[in-house]
Structure 1
Amino acid sequence: MKSRNLVRFFFSVLGVGALTTSIIGFAIEWGRYKELFLSFEVLEILSVLFWFIGVGMIFSVIAQMGFVIFLTIHRFALEIFRSHSLWNSIQLFLIIFVTFDLVYLRYLFFGEGSGSIVPYIWLPLLIMIIGLIAAYMKQKQSSKKTFVSALFLMIVFTVMEWFPALRVNEEDWLYLMLLPLLSCNAFQLLMLPKFLSRS
């Protein structure tokens, strides 16, 4: 990829992170910020918006680092295993392992081992649904071989990037970080070929 297109790709992902974080941030905290909009406090609204944009850009940089690591691991794995089917089997195992741990370990640590496990299924299910949609779109864009790897990025790498919010386990932060990460990863997955074709 030419350096010009690489820079455009980088800033495009920054824009996705900033935009999604701003929308989700105001949506999550609407009860707190609606008075600012009703009283038309422009400076206050802008200061909050700039904060969300900055946080969103940080999330997008985390997603981009994860994407580069994913591409590197994927290339090395194909060279080492010499078999697409074997690498896909390993990725499927890791997808199942991470999804199970995301439910069970969160319930174990934050559910205090009591009550229903159902509330801890919702977020992994959301990640799985968005991951399947993105992987299906990637498969349509290129070939069937890319489906498992795309799902691996969308689930395993998103969860690893999401780890700081998982440790805090505050509901607002969980959503504020997760949805921009999913958006950035899906954008990178689907838009990279278009940026590459411009080169």
Structure 2
Amino acid sequence: MKSRGLVRFFFSILAVGALITSIVGFALKWGEYKELFINLEIGEIFSVLLWFVGVGMIFSVISQMGFFVFLTVHRFALEILRSSSLWNWLQLFLILFVAFDLMYVRFLFFGGSGESIIGYAWLPLFLLVFGLLVAYMKQKQSSKKTFISSLFLMVVITALEWFPALRVNEEDWLYLMLFPLMGCNAFQLLMLPKFAEK
């Protein structure tokens, strides 16, 4: 990819992160922000929007770093293991391990007495289903060999990027960070070949 394409790619991901974070941010706190829109308080709306855009750009940079780590680890693993099938099995194990841990470990640390583990299952399940959908789209776009690696990026790498919000375990931050990361990772995975062609 030429440097101009790389810069365009970088700023496109920044825009994706900013847009998704702004939409999710306003949706999460709509009860608070509704009055601003009703009273047309443009200054307040703009300052809140600016904050969401800034936070979204930070999330998109985290996503880009995770994507670069994924590409590097993927290449090294193929070189070291000398077998793509062995690397695929290892990735599959890590995907299942991380998906289970996102439910079970969060329940161990943050679950209250009498609380069910089922309440902690839906976010990892949502991430897994979204990852399967994106991996399927990537497979259709290129080849069947990309399916497990794409799923690995969408589940394992996204979970690593999401770790700061997971540690805090505040519901708003969990959603505010997860959706932009998922969107940015999916965008990078599906759009990189198109930017490289240009």
Scaled by the length of structure 1, the TM-score of the pair is 0.98
1:50-61 map, 5 Å = 50-61=50-61
* Counterparts of 1:152 and 1:26, CA distance in 2: 30
- Aligned-pair Cα RMSD in Å: 0.7
2:82 equivalent in structure 1: 82
Scaled by the length of structure 2, the TM-score of the pair is 0.99
Aligned length: 198
1:164-183 map, 5 Å = 164-183=164-183
Question: How far apart are 1:113 and its partner, in Å?
Answer: 5.6
Aligned partner of 2:2: which letter?
K
1:9 equivalent in structure 2: 9
1:116-195 map, 5 Å = 116-195=116-195
* Counterparts of 2:90 and 2:114, CA distance in 1: 33
Residue pair 1:165, 1:173 contacting (<8 A) in 2 also? yes
1:61-100 map, 5 Å = 61-100=61-100
Question: How far apart are 1:82 and its partner, in Å?
Answer: 1.4
1:45 equivalent in structure 2: 45
What is the CA deviation profile of residues 58-109 of structure 1, one whole-angstrom value per residue up to 9, with x for unaligned ones?
A: 0000000000000000011111111111000000000011111110000000
Residue pair 1:107, 1:113 contacting (<8 A) in 2 also? no
Indicate the SS of the match to 1:145.
Answer: helix
* Counterparts of 1:15 and 1:107, CA distance in 2: 34
* Counterparts of 1:93 and 1:189, CA distance in 2: 21
Residue pair 1:134, 1:151 contacting (<8 A) in 2 also? yes
* Counterparts of 1:124 and 1:114, CA distance in 2: 21
What is the CA deviation profile of residues 22-67 of structure 1, one whole-angstrom value per residue up to 9, with x for unaligned ones?
A: 0000000100100000000000000000000000000000000000
* Counterparts of 1:163 and 1:113, CA distance in 2: 24
* Counterparts of 1:139 and 1:113, CA distance in 2: 43
* Counterparts of 2:112 and 2:88, CA distance in 1: 35
Indicate the SS of the match to 1:40.
Answer: coil
* Counterparts of 1:146 and 1:193, CA distance in 2: 13
Aligned partner of 2:92: which letter?
L
Aligned partner of 1:70: which letter?
F
Residue pair 1:138, 1:147 contacting (<8 A) in 2 also? yes
* Counterparts of 1:80 and 1:134, CA distance in 2: 27
Identity rate, percent:
72
| Structure 2 unaligned blocks of 5 or more | none
Runs of 4+ in structure 1 deviating by more than 6 angstroms, as ranges, are: none
Question: How far apart are 1:112 and its partner, in Å?
Answer: 3.6
* Counterparts of 2:67 and 2:115, CA distance in 1: 37
Deviates more, 1:108-117 or 1:49-58: 108-117
